[in-house]
Every structure is written in C-alpha cells, then in structure tokens.
Chains A and B, each alone.
Chain A
Amino acid sequence: MNTTLIEDYVSLICPTCQRPVRVVRIYAPSQPGLKLVGIKHDDHIVVIKFDKYGVARDINAYKLIDPERVKAEHFAICKRCKRSVPLLFGRGLREYAIDHNDHFVIIFLMGKTFVLQVIDKIPPIRIAPRLNIVARIRKEIGLKNLAMILYYAITEPNRVVNIPATVEKDLKFLLREIFGRIPLRLRIGPLVELNWVEEADFFQRKILQVLGFSDKEALTVLKESVEMIINMTESFKRLLRKKGVNFVCDQLSYLKEKDPKLFALFQKLLGISCI
C-alpha cells in the first residue's frame, strides 16, 4: 500500500464543471504571496494558487472569452504581450478570461472600470486517476467509521479502536499527518462497526469534500478542519471562563439553528448543555 506524499502533481475539483483538474505541483518562491497559474478547461479556465510548500490553497474558475467572437467598444492593453483586450461592459460579466497563448489575462469589471491580471498558463497533465489516501481508507472501512475515528481522536483520545490490517499503514499515516501523532490505540482486528453519533457529521462532510483531491491537498484540508474545531473549542473555553456559560450558549445559538450537528459537537467538546 502506497502512503507516500511525494506527489509531483495536484488534483482538485473544478468549481465550474466539477470535473478533476490535474496539474504539476508548483512552489511559490516565498511567503507572503501565492503563485497563481491558469489551466484551460474547455470553455473556462481554472486558476490555482500555490503556497511555498506546493500546497494548492485556492481554486477559482473564469469564463473563457474568444476575442474574435465578441464585439467590444472598449479595449485595454495586455501588460505582458501588448495585445488588445476587449472590455465587455454591460453584459452581465464581472470577470472573464482571455487566452494569450502562453498566459491568460483575467479581466475584472466593475461599472465602467476594470482591472487586468496576467496569469501564467500551464498545461493540464494526463494521468490515470487514483484514489487518494482518504478515499483508500474510506473504501476499506467505510465513510462513517472513518468519520468516527476522527471524532474519537478529538473527543476520546487513547480509545481502543479495532482496524483491519489492510488499512493500518494508511490510517496511521493519516492520523500522524493530521494530529502530529496517533491519538488512538489502534488494534489490528476485525473492524467493529463504530456506533454512529451525529456529532461526527462534520468529519463525514469534510471527508466527502476531499475525496477527489490529491493526497497533500486532502490531508491539508482535513488537518486544518480538525485544527479549526480544536481552536474554536479553545476560544469558546476562554469565553466560558471570561463571560460564562450563558454568553457562550448565546453565541452558539445561531449554530444550533443553522447546523445542529456541529452545535452538538461543540457542546460535547465544551462539556456544556445549552437549552
């Protein structure tokens, strides 16, 4: 079983067409600042922002306009190649892209004003799709069990959890990447169905969100999601000490309305019960 994270490509899901976008991994030269690259994706382009660690931090898509096929009254000049760029005011477009061979120009329109942004173009890569580490574990033990493992890792560290040998290497790697250690006592044995609790729903949603990503991006999103829950819990604990339980329950009441399962998770982690 392969658990290496040395991936030379990135796989993400296009926000426009929901199909995978695969490109070579790029490293931004330094922080602060992200390196933006654009990929042609049929009738739109996808812009990915990479950080200095080569992690894809953001993805946006822009409608691709063929300048030969549009009539424009106003034009700007591309800063890189000095070709003209049509400005399509008053057509309901707030942002769009033009293909200039080795680069894209993104045009942002606001009223009668505009800003141009030049983005380096890179080709998509063609490789056989493969399951990322999260998808592999899910395939072996199921979505709900994986969500419960993440849930127990936060709420009941050191809990004994039986896992099949086929998933041991991947699961240990995933837990180390997310938590910096293995926060559960994993025992090789027949998988016992973990009793589903609704508080684990958040982790289930996050797992589903990253299934189409490459390993590095999937693990980054999961890691940051777990850190977010831990950080928010710490913030609420501080508020509990400073302002009391009523204040915290008041803040959580909006969450109760919008996302009752996440609300239940915070109640559990804070050890409070809001009426």
Chain B
Amino acid sequence: MNKPFKRYKVAVAGDAGSGKTSLIYRIMGHPDITLVEKTKGVFIESITDRNIELIFWDFSGQKHFRDVILPFFRGSHIVVLVFDLSNPQSLINLVKEWSMYVKQALNDVPCIVLGNKKDIKMLPDDFIQESLEEMKRVINLRGYLEVSALTGEGIEIFLKMLYDVAEELRDKGV
C-alpha cells in the first residue's frame, strides 16, 4: 500500500561560507555551483521522492541576519547543520551557537551534521568526533557525513540519510 504523501520543512543552517547553498544547488542538479552567491536571508527550494516533499529552508549564516532568520527555524521537522571542514571556527560555532538555536527553537528535532568541503579538509577526525559528542548532549544528532558540494562526493548518501529520517517521521505519524 502506498504511504501517504508528506511535506517536511528542512532547515539548513551553519556559518556563512560553509557551503549550504552550494549543497542545495548540487542536490537540485544545478550544472555550475561556482555561480552560487551569498544567501540573503532565506533561500527556499524543494525536492520530492518516496512520496515525501522536502522543503529546504537555507538560512543565511551571516551574523547581521541572525535576528531575522532565527524565528523561521520554528516549525522545521529536520535540521541540517553544515560546517566547513577547512575552518575550525565554523565547527566551534555549530557546537557553541547553532546547536543552541536548534535546541531553543525546536527541542528534539532530528539533526544531521554535514562537514562540507571535504576536498580541502583540514580538521582532524578526533577534533570533529569530540565536537559531535558535545553536540549530541544538546541536539538529537542522527548522523554525520563528510561531503563536497564542489565535487559531489557524499551528496547521494546524504540525500538517502535525509529521506530515511523523513520516512521515520512519517512512520511515527509526524
């Protein structure tokens, strides 16, 4: 029997320059992600598979937009937190700031953490693992993946993980 159609809001957040919009462009099949510009506010795109529509809310990571974008976190069913594998501050800020925003606005919503720019990775694995452990104390961390929006590496696995989480929500009647 066909499962019912569901629509879920997916918040994509993280520091400016971590490559959130490039990831969405890659998922949407844009031919040239080097054309991506800084996100001004929120960029909204959607994809449908397995009879589930995922609406991506790609939030600007710039500090001067923070007051505007945070209220739109509310109502998200899944959160994707993105950091730059070549920038330690972007990971620290996921632990210190973005995890807290998620906790405050969404409490126990499932989260996936993405380390982007795998092609220029600089952060050591043990540092990343410790950071993820810290985040687990605050958010409902469902998975971690390293991807490259530039080369496309890891994007398919990420989408599968995302849809698996969405299917679980549907099965739970969310």
Contacts and interface: CB of A to CB of B under 8 A. Distances in A.
Question: Is B a genuine binding partner of A?
Answer: yes
A158 interface: no
B72 A255 contact: yes
B42 A235 contact: yes
B123 A115 contact: yes
Interface in A53-99: 57-58, 60, 94-95
B41 A113 contact: no
A153 to B, nearest CB: 16
A232 interface: yes
A53 to B, nearest CB: 12
B40 A115 contact: no
B68 interface: yes
Interface string B81-106: 00000001100100110000000000
B161 to A, nearest CB: 24
B109 to A, nearest CB: 14
Given A57-B16, A113-B124, A113-B126, A257 B71 contact: yes
Nearest to B132: A110
Contacts of B70: 258
A178 to B, nearest CB: 13
A254 B72 contact: yes
A241 interface: no
A108 B89 CA distance: 8
A206 to B, nearest CB: 8
A166 to B, nearest CB: 29
Contact of B44 (A110, A225, A238, A257): A238
Interface residues of A, number: 39
Contact of A224 (B64, B67, B75, B134): B64
Contacts of A258: 70-71
B64 A32 contact: no
Contacts of A205: 67
A120 to B, nearest CB: 16
Contacts of A239: 44
A155 interface: no
Contacts of A112: 130
B62 interface: yes
Interface in A36-62: 57-58, 60
B148 interface: no
B64 A111 contact: no
B88 A117 contact: yes
Contact of A232 (B41, B64, B89, B133): B41
A180 B41 CA distance: 19
Nearest to A206: B64
Interface in A235-273: 235, 238-239, 250-251, 254-255, 257-259, 262
Contact of B92 (A94, A206, A235, A255): A94
Contacts of A250: 75
Given A58-B16, A239-B44, A259-B67, A114 B72 contact: no
A192 interface: no
A228 B64 CA distance: 11
B127 A115 contact: yes
Contact of B40 (A114, A224, A255, A259): A224
Interface string A194-217: 000000001001100100000000
27 contacts: A57-B16, A57-B62, A58-B16, A94-B92, A95-B89, A95-B92, A110-B134, A111-B130, A113-B124, A113-B127, A113-B130, A115-B123, A115-B124, A117-B88, A209-B64, A221-B64, A228-B60, A228-B68, A231-B40, A231-B43, A232-B68, A235-B43, A238-B44, A251-B72, A255-B71, A255-B72, A257-B71
- Listed from nearest, the 5 A-B pairs whose CB atoms lie closest are A228-B41, A254-B74, A111-B130, A258-B71, A110-B130
Given A227-B40, A235-B44, 18 more contacts: A34-B17, A108-B127, A110-B131, A111-B134, A224-B38, A225-B64, A227-B41, A228-B40, A228-B41, A228-B60, A228-B65, A229-B41, A231-B40, A235-B43, A254-B71, A254-B74, A254-B75, A259-B71
